[in-house]
Amino acid sequence: MDLDALERDLLGQVERTGDEAGLEALRVAALGKKGSVSELLKTLGTMTPDERRERGPLINGLRDRVQSAISQKREALAEAALDARLSAERIDVTLPLREAPEIRGRIHPISQVIEEITAIFADLGFSVAEGPDIETDELNFTALNFPEGHPAREMHDTFFLPPDHLGRRKLLRTHTSPVQVRTMRAKQPPIRVIMPGRTYRHDSDQTHTPMFHQVEGLVIDRSANIANLKWVLESFCRAFFEVEAVTMRFRPSFFPFTEPSAEVDIQCSRKGGELRFGEGTDWLEILGCGMVHPNVLRSGGLDPDQVQGFAFGMGIDRLAMLKYGMPDLRPFFEADVRWLEHYGFRPIDVPSLVGGLTG
Ligand code: 2NL
C-alpha cells in the first residue's frame, strides 16, 4: 500500500477522533501487534538489504509520526475534559452551610416542655410514671371519688369506646389521674411521682383541642402537707418560668379527688401585649391542686389514718403557650413543618437545671 496514503488516512482519523476510547482503538488498529503500521514494519525482515535501506526509514518515520500524533491528541483530549469539568463543577464558597440532619430536626414544643418539667421535678426527687390512654370508668372516675351522675361522666365531655359483651365501656382518659391511682396501688409510700401524658375531652376552640396534654404530680407519705405543696409548686414555677421569685395566689376551689382544693394563680404583667412572670399586678391561673381525698387514698389501697398526701395538675399545652408566646393551640397538632420550624426547639437544647433550663 502507498505509505503516503496510509499516513494521510491514519493522521486524518486521529484528527477526527473526539474521545479517548476512540483514540485507543485507533492506536491498536495502527500500532498494536496486528496493527497496519506494525504489519508494515514486519515486512522489513523479508526484504533485501538494499530494499530495507530505502523502505526502513520511510516506514519508521511513518510509525513515529503516527505515534506522536496520537500522544498529542491524547493530551489535547485530557485537557479539554479537565476544562469541561472545571467549568461544570464550579463551587460557590459563599453559599451557607447545609445543616446536618441531626441539627435540622426540631423538637415539638410539647416534648420540650415535658422535658423541662421532668428535669425540674427530677431535681425535687420526683420520678415519672405513665399509663394507658384508654382507661376504665373505674380508674378514670370512680376511684377518683367522682359520684355517679357527675357531669364529667356524661357523653358530653368524655369520649367513650363501644361497650364490651358485659356492657362495660372503656374511655379515653379525661385526665392523667388514673395513673396516680395505678401508682398508689403498685408502690408503697413515700411516693413522689409526676405523670405527663395525653388526655382527651370533647372540646375544640382556639385554646382547646380534643386531645391535649396534662401533667399531674402526687406526693404521699406520713406527713406531706399544704406547706410542702406550696413550696414544691413555688419551686417549680420559679424554675419553669426562669424567674428569681414569683408571687402565687391560692384560691379555694373544688375537685372531687382533693380536699381541700385550690386553684393557683401566678403574678404577671401584661404591658404592651407582652406577658412577663414574677412582676406586675395581674394574675394568671396555671394549675389546680389539693390534699388527696381520703376516699382516693382508700381506692389506691392506702390507709388515710397512716398516710396523707397532696396532688396537683396542670395543662402542658397551656404552659407551653404561655412560656413561649404561642397564641393558638390548634397548630400544635396540625403537623405543619413551617410551624414546627418556627416554634420547634433544636435537638441540642436539652433542658437541664445545670444549663439554666433553656440556656
Ligand atoms: C387542673 C387540676 C388537679 C389533681 C389534679 C389528683 C389525682 C389524684 C388524687 C388527687 Cl389520684 N389529685 N390530681 C389534683 C388537683 C388538681 O388538676 O386544673 N388540672 C389541669
Question: Ligand 1: which residues within 6 Å by Cβ?
Answer: 144, 177, 180-181, 214, 216, 255, 257-258, 287-290, 292, 296, 311-315
| Average pLDDT, rounded, for the chain | 90
Mean pLDDT of 227-240: 96
Which among 142, 232, 312, 329 is the best mutation to test ligand 1's pocket, defined by most ligand atoms within 8 Å of the CB? 312
Can you tell me the distance from the alpha carbon of 49 to that of 62, in angstroms, rounded to the nearest whole number? 20
Quote the DSSP letter at residue 162. P
Interval between CA 310 and ligand 1 midpoint (Å)? 9
- Residues in a beta bridge with 352: 357
Can you tell me the distance from the alpha carbon of 194 to that of 312, in angstroms, rounded to the nearest whole number? 9
pLDDT over 60 at 155, yes or no: no
User: Could you tell me how many residues make up the chain?
Assistant: 359
Interval between CA 350 and ligand 1 midpoint (Å)? 28
Read off the pLDDT of residues 32-61 as tens digits, 9 standing for 90 and up. 999 999 998 888 889 898 888 888 888 999
CA 268 to chain centre: 32
Cell of 80: 479539554
Handedness of CA 251, 255, 260, 266 (dihedral sign): negative
Cell of 271: 404591658
Ligand 1 atom with the shortest distance to the CA of 143: 11
Which residues line the annotated binding site?
259
Can you tell me the distance from the alpha carbon of 54 to that of 65, in angstroms, rounded to the nearest whole number? 18
pLDDT over 70 at 180, yes or no: yes
Q: Sorting pLDDT into bands at 50, 70 and 90, what band is 95?
A: confident
